[in-house]
Amino acid sequence: MPKETQTRSSRQRPISCRFCRSRKLRCNREAPCSNCTSRGISCELETLSRPPSDTDSPTKTELLDRIRKLEELVEKVHRDSRQTSAGEQSSESASHCTQQTPNSDVSPHVQHLDRDVAYLESVCDAGGSERSLLHDKFRFQICSVQHMLEMQQPRNSYSFSTANSGLVKHVWLPEYSEAKVLLEKFVRHIAHFHHVYHMPSLPNVLDRVYSCLNQRIHVKSGEIILLLSIFGSSSHSWSQDDCRERGLFSSPVEAHRQSEVWVTATEDLIGIANRTTPVSIEGIQGIIIMLFVANAVDGISRRCRSFTNMALSFARELGLHCIDHPSNAHLANTVQAEVGRRVWWWLVSCDWSVAMAARFNDVPMGIYQCHLRHMMTNKPLNLDDEYVVDGMSCAGMPASQPTALSYTLQRVRMAEISRNMADRTSPLTAHTSTRSYHIIMDIDTELQLLLNDTPPFFSMAVKDISRIYLVDEHRAMCIAQQGHKFHSLLYALRCKLHLPYLSRAFTNTEYASSRDICIQSAQLIIQTEADIEMAGLCKATRYSPIGLIMSVFMACIVLLMDLCHSQDSQHRERQRSEIARAIQMLEDARHESYLVAKFLDSMMQVLRKHKIAPPKLVGQPTQTPTLHEKDSAIASTHSDSINGFPSVPTPMSISIPPSGAQASNGTSGVGVTGDRFATEEDIPYLCELTRTLNEGLDVSDFNWDDIFLDLDASFLLRSELSDRR
């Protein structure tokens, strides 16, 4: 009997329809029932909902258990219940990229639990809090620039904190009025080389940081990294004209010393942030600025690669690689999304360009990190900042119209060709005969097409740009600077492409085209850098007119090789002049960066070893040429032409300043010590080299493969020693 009762109680039959229940009629519980059918009315028979399956209960239990564990973890990590804006942005972007369309079969309750779990997981993944970075490790203080160097002596750089039982580093920022001067310098003279910002928003960042410092509240890590990097970049490029017009620093030497302090502080902040806290898009912009400064000082070094790797990692954490994912459609036409596109594609183009950088036998050559299938972010629009607003249209200006993004978009196009080079010319076959020569010529055709499609304003003089495109003189000068830098990059890439076939072309006519293109590109590299100095485009910043010093170094070697093999050429005078001009460029930039000194010293050592120039006689007195004014040398450079090529001063007329005079001019690079520069014995050797170029060279016993191998080994050894320092 109990079993029968239990069986009956568990049996659930469908209930009567609505009409039968209202009239107290017997319903046959069919759809439609007989009563409703006989009366011609609709039958509303309510079926009993199915009980939840056995698989639902474990799912809910598992979700609730995960939520409890995550809540305990969040309470432990975030006791102050403060969430950073960077963490929220990262969570939002990550959730948009990973969440798919909700399944209609899942109940709303389960969907709600899934969203809670995803949110709590994203909070846990955000890492440490801002407080642990900015208050436990660093102490930010405001001080006048005039007193800053004294306050930043080593004994005052750190203090002991009882709160965290460790050392706290003091970071000194200039006063608000002085910070505005540094920001104005950056916006006016530097930012157009890496336009990854929304310029109208930069003053707001400055105001927020100083407001937080004055109120003694937390400062966001990304914003302070961006601000310090701007200070370091502006002071690093401080010139004598800035001292007269902007004041702030009494001399460029003082500005350059202060730049070292800000650059070091920024690197420390980035290093701590990389381990402890999320970094916002402002922090990534600051890393890009640091990458630019490091590249100007060190070239493509471990330091630069480290900045690039960290910036790409932070960018992926923020979801910059999937800004245009369908789940982010509501953010597509916002300032935040457009700035994110600028940042992402600048990093991508940097990654692809480094894959085929103009270096000899570099091991990382041909390898890049950003794959097209791993990103869903459109290229930035060709728009000026005043047109970048929330709710803007998706159409940019035509490529023929100069904008703030014109240089960036051209740089992306060139980086795409670099990526194509890396894909089609594997580094494993770079020095073997398996590489097909027709691939090299196909890539060269792409470079030539890019050169042909370059907007005309990148090849115009400043006055022509201002007159034709109706822009002010300062804007026209920025466009001209971008054009010269773009052409230097393009010529260097083309020269690097054909460099492996240069020596073969002297014995195999099949590679004659590569020889001609390589030599012509080397000549154009030197000519472009000379034009920059002649046009006065480098006066506003301290950055050397040899923006790509590795390209000039490579061009010098290429032209020297051509001179040695072309004994009977009728253009030998022009060839010697071009080489002398390249060496003079390297010598003039020796004290701008120790990288230049490494290149020049390496080349001189190899030339001595292979007896391309006579060795220096010990104890023999040498005469140092007189130092002429640079302007008169430039004027004579363009006073005549030979067969369409501008003539340059002869090697004997090139003046080599004595090391003592150079050392007394008071200029020094960031982090550069005096022992890295050449001594007095190197200056007379340059005179011997120019004299040798006039007398001619005997290349019957030259092994150019050994020369390049020695050159590469010498440079790599110096790079290792530099990195260890």
* pLDDT at 205 exceeding the cut of 90: yes
Work out the average pLDDT over 245-266.
88
**Which pLDDT belongs to residue 77?**
63
Work out the average pLDDT over 414-433.
74
Q: How many CB atoms lie within 10 A of CB 135?
A: 17
Q: Is 139 helix (H, G, I), strand (E, B) or coil?
A: strand
pTM over 0.75: no
**Which pLDDT belongs to residue 250?**
84
Q: How confident is the model at residue 25 (pLDDT cuts 50, 70, 90)?
A: confident
Q: Which tops the pLDDT comparison, 329 or 202?
A: 202
Q: Which tops the pLDDT comparison, 595 or 650?
A: 595
Supply 129's token pair.
């809090």
Which segment of 57-66, 88-97, 143-152 scores lowest on mean pLDDT?
Answer: 88-97
Q: Please report how many Cα atoms fall inside a 13 Å half-sphere around the Cα of residue 712, on the Cβ side.
A: 12
**Which pLDDT belongs to residue 560?**
82
Q: Which tops the pLDDT comparison, 521 or 155?
A: 521
Q: Which long-range contacts (CB under 8 A, 24 or more apart) does 623-626 make?
A: 623/687, 624/656, 624/658, 624/683, 624/684, 624/687, 625/652, 625/654, 625/655, 625/656, 625/687, 626/655
Mean pLDDT of the chain: 72
**Which pLDDT belongs to residue 396?**
81
* pLDDT at 317 exceeding the cut of 50: yes
Q: How confident is the model at residue 437 (pLDDT cuts 50, 70, 90)?
A: confident
Q: How confident is the model at residue 85 (pLDDT cuts 50, 70, 90)?
A: very low
Query: Per-residue pLDDT tens for 516-558?
Result: 999 999 999 988 888 887 777 766 665 554 456 778 888 888 8
Do residues 78 and 129 touch, judged by C-beta distance below 8 A? Answer: yes
Return the closest-CA partner of residue 401 out of 469, 503, 450: 469
Q: Are strands 641-642 and 645-646 parallel, antiparallel or unpaired?
A: antiparallel
* pLDDT at 714 exceeding the cut of 90: no
**Which pLDDT belongs to residue 416?**
93
Query: Per-residue pLDDT tens for 209-247?
Result: 999 998 888 888 899 999 999 999 999 988 888 888 888
* pLDDT at 412 exceeding the cut of 80: yes
Do residues 408 and 342 touch, judged by C-beta distance below 8 A? Answer: yes
Do residues 93 and 315 touch, judged by C-beta distance below 8 A? Answer: no
**Which pLDDT belongs to residue 642?**
29
Query: Per-residue pLDDT tens for 559-573?
Result: 888 877 776 667 777
Q: How many CB atoms lie within 10 A of CB 707?
A: 21
Q: Are strands 641-642 and 138-142 parallel, antiparallel or unpaired?
A: unpaired
Q: Which long-range contacts (CB under 8 A, 24 or more apart) does 688-693 make?
A: 688/613, 688/614, 688/616, 689/583, 689/604, 689/607, 689/613, 690/580, 690/583, 690/651, 690/652, 690/654, 691/651, 691/652, 692/612, 692/613, 692/614, 693/563, 693/576, 693/579, 693/580, 693/651
**Which pLDDT belongs to residue 507?**
82
* pLDDT at 476 exceeding the cut of 90: yes
Instruction: Report the percent of the chain where pLDDT is more than 70.
Output: 63
Distances 494 to 138, 524, 581, 690 between C-alpha atoms, Å:
46, 11, 21, 27
**Which pLDDT belongs to residue 368?**
86
Which segment of 227-231, 375-379, 581-585, 653-657 scores lowest on mean pLDDT?
Answer: 653-657
Do residues 697 and 667 touch, judged by C-beta distance below 8 A? Answer: no
Query: Per-residue pLDDT tens for 506-526?
Result: 888 888 999 999 999 999 998
**Which pLDDT belongs to residue 421?**
83
Which stretch, 112-116, 409-413, 653-657, 671-675, has highest mean pLDDT?
409-413
Which stretch, 36-50, 339-353, 589-603, has highest mean pLDDT?
339-353
* pLDDT at 359 exceeding the cut of 70: no
Q: Which tops the pLDDT comparison, 599 or 528?
A: 528
3-state SS of 254-284?
HHHHHHHHHHHHHHHHHHHHHHHCCCCHHHH
**Which pLDDT belongs to residue 539?**
65
Distances 240 to 141, 247, 249, 272 between C-alpha atoms, Å:
28, 10, 10, 35
Distances 39 to 21, 43, 46 between C-alpha atoms, Å:
15, 10, 19
Domain ranges of the chain: 2-39, 130-318
Work out the average pLDDT over 74-95.
49
Cα dihedral value 394, 400, 401, 403, nearest 10: 70
Q: How confident is the model at residue 701 (pLDDT cuts 50, 70, 90)?
A: very low
